Chains A and B, each alone.
Chain A
Amino acid sequence: MTLAGLSLAYLKDRALNTALNILLLTLSVATLVILVLFSSQLAERFERDAQGIDLVVGAKGSPLQLILSSIYQVDVPTGNIPLATVDLLRADPTVAEVIPLALGDSFRGYRIVGTEPAYVENFGGVLAQGQMFAADYQAVIGAQVARETGAGLGQKFVGSHGLSGDGHDHEETPFEVVGILAPTGTVLDRLIVTPVGSIWAAHGFEAPPAEGSTDDHDGHDHDGDGQQDHAAHDHEPDDHAPVETEHAAHAGGGDLEVTALLIKYRSSMAAVRLPNFINKQTELQAAAPAVEMTRLLSLLGVGIDAVRAFAILLMATSGLSIFVALYSALRQREGDMAMLRVMGARPGAIFGHIILEGVLLAAAGALLGVAVGHAVVAASAASFPQLRDMGLTAARFEPAELMIVMAAIGMGALAALIPALKVFRVDIAKTLADTR
């Protein structure tokens, strides 16, 4: 039996009090850990998914919606823009690359993105099996899509109209899986990519005669919020990108559109000039991912800060609770402390034993808090597909968690400090006489 063993024995001796203090600290640490995991993984995911993209061009509407739908694939698009915009921007000397996106269909909830191989390359996508798409109706699927749907090379599937997966099926235009991507840890993992022409064809359009050539789009009536009429389909208005929309009757490619363009600048001059130039166009808007995501994170940040403040308050409360528990316990144990001195325990050793009691309490609460925090994140990711799709995982530890644990343990030591310091002032004979 050592003084450390005595610390444990005292904690066990008042089990309910100990358990309540641990529970209080567990709740605060778990809340902080959840915040850390969520905010760090969210920010990292945002950054990873927007890598290499300087500007997004799409239909007028909410710039944040444009970014969310085009880069993070989590919102409905603002509308479509004329295909001619691609050539217009490709001709701009300050633009290094333009990647078109055509959205509007999905397969079992996974979005089908009409694009070019450059889109895959932008995320560092590497084929684990098969080859890159080379013709319409060939599809390359992300690692998560392959894992969740069990799709393999050569398998055919039919896309559903709309992005939620409950639209009608394009049964007449099945896709064939020609490639499966290795995991990238980006949005690409949960996408099905195919040539833009596949999307056009699935919706009754013909691709232009030569790659890059576009037709005049004058005379099309896009309404202000990016929603369009749907003469040929009866769909929920917020369920899909209207790639085909009113143009269903215009087979022949004359009115081809894309949903958005991802732009990479060639020079920093582009950042100054291009957004203004695009925003002056009546049908177009330009949104910078960095700006919009900073705005979103600052909006989310208000909520996160509020929860963080609450968790810190909870931690301070648990520190106070540990202090009160130790202080009152040590008042009851003053006779024990005096007896330990009689038996020869040095004041410094008793001081250490009391500090250890606070540290043990805090360490138990902190470690349990980390475990509970990760368990809650794991349960959330399992329960909410949006969080899982966002890449939220409990199997990752952030350096900030170590800081939280250290802070909690430090707080436990601090809470024990004042009661522990009393041991240096104890009058053994008087205490023994007073505490019979």
Chain B
Amino acid sequence: MTTPDEPLIEVQDLRHEIAGRCVMAAPAFTAAKGQHTLLLGPSGSGKTTLINVITGLITPTSGEVRIAGQVMSALPAAQRDQLRRRTVGVVFQTLRLIGALSVRQNLALAQRLALGENEPAAIEALIAQVGLTHRADARPRELSQGEGQRAAIARALCAKPAIVVADEPTSALDDANAVAMSDLLLATAEATGATLLIATHDNRLRARFDRTLTLAPPRVAA
């Protein structure tokens, strides 16, 4: 567990290779509790790989990531799943809501998996917070792109994670929706006190974050 001053995310000398080719080389950085960070980088810079390493979905070739004080890659798979379940909420560009479930059921399932129980009142409050009360029983295929994005954000937050990471959450949206989406992420993270890390190549978001990190494409060795 972390102490109040300890960062929730610590990235050190992180590098990942696939078939001998470096696909991600991240600068060292930390993110404290409640801090909102924009991770900017062009396509191919390894943003998604970095998110996958931070969430423990892949093990980096070198370097380490500490989440809430624990080195993700050093944990056995079961403990890594548990840490992710309890600590990290993820928002993907493609939403990845479960198509067979309604918005409310998607949130309930995520909450059940993370907390082992359902808190219906918290789910309803979150649905209201993202403005989907009237669409709570709709299936993902019945939602607009904007409604789907809001449902995905609500799902990421429904287990009250200490960290929310989002991978290209606005890349498919027009300007107005991109701003609305980032504002919603910021507002909900602010409301829950979550640490927010958004990886994007979308420069439109730069102005809305007080802290921006840049991820450069990894250099190919000569």
Contacts and interface: CB of A to CB of B under 8 A. Distances in A.
Given A9-B105, A342-B55, A343-B113, A432 B96 contact: yes
B36 interface: no
A432 B168 CA distance: 13
Residue with the greatest number of chain B CB neighbours at <10 A, chosen from A10, A12, A342: A342
A427 to B, nearest CB: 9
A272 interface: no
Contacts of A382: none
Interface stretch (A73-81, A259-267, A333-341): A333-341
A299 B99 CA distance: 55
B52 interface: yes
A399 interface: no
A344 B86 contact: yes
B2 interface: no
A217 B100 CA distance: 86
Interface stretch (B67-75, B77-85, B195-203): B77-85
A335 B113 contact: no
- Indicate the member of B100, B109, B114, B118 with the most A CB atoms within 10 Å: B100
Contacts of B81: 341, 344-346
A344 B100 contact: no
A273 interface: no
Contacts of A342: 55, 57, 84, 90, 96
A127 interface: no
A9 B92 CA distance: 23
A346 B82 CA distance: 9
A3 B110 CA distance: 10
B98 A336 contact: yes
B219 interface: no
A290 to B, nearest CB: 59
A346 B55 CA distance: 15
Given A6-B101, A336-B98, A343 B114 contact: yes
A393 to B, nearest CB: 42
A9 B100 contact: yes
Interface in A315-373: 335-336, 339-346
A41 to B, nearest CB: 44
Contact of B114 (A9, A339, A344): A344
A344 B99 contact: no
A343 B92 CA distance: 12
B96 A1 contact: no
B113 A12 contact: no
Interface string A421-436: 0000000110011001
B100 A13 contact: yes
A4 to B, nearest CB: 11
A431 to B, nearest CB: 10
Contacts of A9: 98, 100-101, 105
Contacts of B101: 1, 6, 9
A5 B102 CA distance: 12
B98 A344 contact: no
A173 to B, nearest CB: 76
B145 interface: no
B90 A10 contact: no
Contacts of A281: none
B21 interface: no
Q: Chain B: interface secondary structure?
A: helix
A335 B96 contact: yes
Contacts of B58: 429
Contacts of B92: 339, 432
Given A1-B112, A343-B85, A344-B114, A429 B52 contact: yes
A383 interface: no
A432 B82 CA distance: 19
Nearest to B102: A9
Given A339-B96, A432-B92, A2 B112 contact: yes
A436 B100 contact: no
A341 B77 CA distance: 11
A2 to B, nearest CB: 6
B99 A340 contact: no
A349 B114 CA distance: 13
A12 to B, nearest CB: 7
A342 to B, nearest CB: 6
Nearest to A12: B100
B48 interface: yes
Given A1-B118, A344-B113, A6 B48 contact: no
* Most chain A Cβ neighbours within 10 Å, of B49, B84, B109: B109
A344 B89 CA distance: 10
Interface centre among A340, A344, A433 (most CB of B within 10 A): A344
B182 interface: no
A432 B94 CA distance: 9
Interface string B46-76: 0011001001011000000000000000000
Interface of B: 48-49, 52, 55, 57-58, 78, 81-82, 84-86, 90, 92, 94, 96, 98-101, 105, 108-110, 112-114, 118
Given A1-B108, A343-B85, 19 more contacts: A1-B101, A1-B112, A3-B109, A5-B109, A6-B98, A9-B100, A12-B100, A13-B99, A335-B96, A340-B98, A342-B57, A342-B90, A342-B96, A343-B109, A344-B85, A344-B113, A344-B114, A345-B81, A429-B49
19 contacts: A1-B108, A3-B109, A5-B109, A6-B98, A9-B98, A9-B105, A12-B100, A13-B100, A335-B96, A336-B96, A339-B98, A342-B55, A342-B90, A344-B81, A344-B113, A429-B57, A432-B57, A432-B92, A432-B96
